[in-house]
Chains A and B, each alone.
Chain A
């Protein structure tokens, strides 16, 4: 019997060992390789547009707060967008010169974290058990379990709205892009990542 329990212990130890050896598939991923470029576009024909306007600042949105920012990285970002749009045959004009397209460069940061109660069968919830045990001091002991979760997103966002055909005071978005991953806020990589989203959108051209 003693021997059997020893073997059992050994086997249980092995399970722990195996669980501890689980690999992380993206541990060896180069930061540059972690970048993901997502673009959405409408089926509209972009050759119908000739001019565009773009603000001089980046809209930085953090959860539900947003502000306009002009950091040096923002200027490089805007500059690179303008360069790409110009290369595609569009002409930049001021906002009051009735452009066909309006661009919104943005950085979106979204973080959500908190505690969620998880079900504990041993926990006596006084709310549901009204009238039982109240005031008898049985309240200590089994608290509900809480698990912590955290979820965050941080990415560059570029949006192109069609301001040529405004219907019911609403402009439709004809193109948007998300740039996600590591190293996207490095001064040296802002240019290449902006180029990448334009490179995968060959339809985005004025002629």
Chain B
């Protein structure tokens, strides 16, 4: 009986204490180190290397010989990125870009010596590139807006096809390429996993074919990213 009474008293004291300080009991603790004073610690994104994938879609404007060849903007431009983000300012990863430029010329006659060819010419370049890149970020990993500069180097599968009607004259080959860019990512919520990413890059490859002396373009793309640790 005495013991029961004692237990009831303890329970009452505990209950009232819990009622007076609801935060202490209801608020979510850091799930890693419960026995550790965690409240002053930063988010895991600020403490550990974490992962991020992003997908962007956008526009690309050709430059130089590519502009002469395909005219205006790219018909498709998108890229996918996977990267490791370090707690400080750096991140490293791989980026896939796909840019597709196409132009169709009106029917005209090409004269070569005693030969005349009348056809509709279709110019196209599909560039699938894989770049290993490094990024330097200008704000903390959990900042709502985090601008960055990037530099990537790698290779591109070039598919440079010129058609006269359906007659194909093409070159498919692999070429070195690189890109330099600036961008920023925007977190949708504080310490969240999801956000938006915008990027502007300059792409260059010393690819040569009968129609192109190099491939260069500037692009702008926007998309979403997801990060986890």
Query: Which residues of A pack against B, CB within 8 Å?
Result: 3, 7, 10-11, 14-15, 17-19, 21-23, 25-26, 29, 33-43, 180-182, 196, 200-201
Contact = CB atoms under 8 A, between A and B. Distances in A.
A37 to B, nearest CB: 4
Contact of A18 (B98, B102, B104, B116): B98
A196 B98 CA distance: 39
Interface stretch (B60-68, B74-82, B178-186): B74-82
Interface string B125-139: 010101000000000
Interface residues of B, number: 34
Interface in B164-179: 164-167
B107 interface: yes
B128 A18 contact: yes
A105 B207 CA distance: 44
B114 to A, nearest CB: 5
A181 B165 contact: yes
A3 B48 CA distance: 14
A10 B55 CA distance: 12
A23 B117 contact: no
Contact of B120 (A7, A22, A34): A34
B82 A200 contact: no
B212 interface: no
A18 B166 contact: no
A14 B124 contact: no
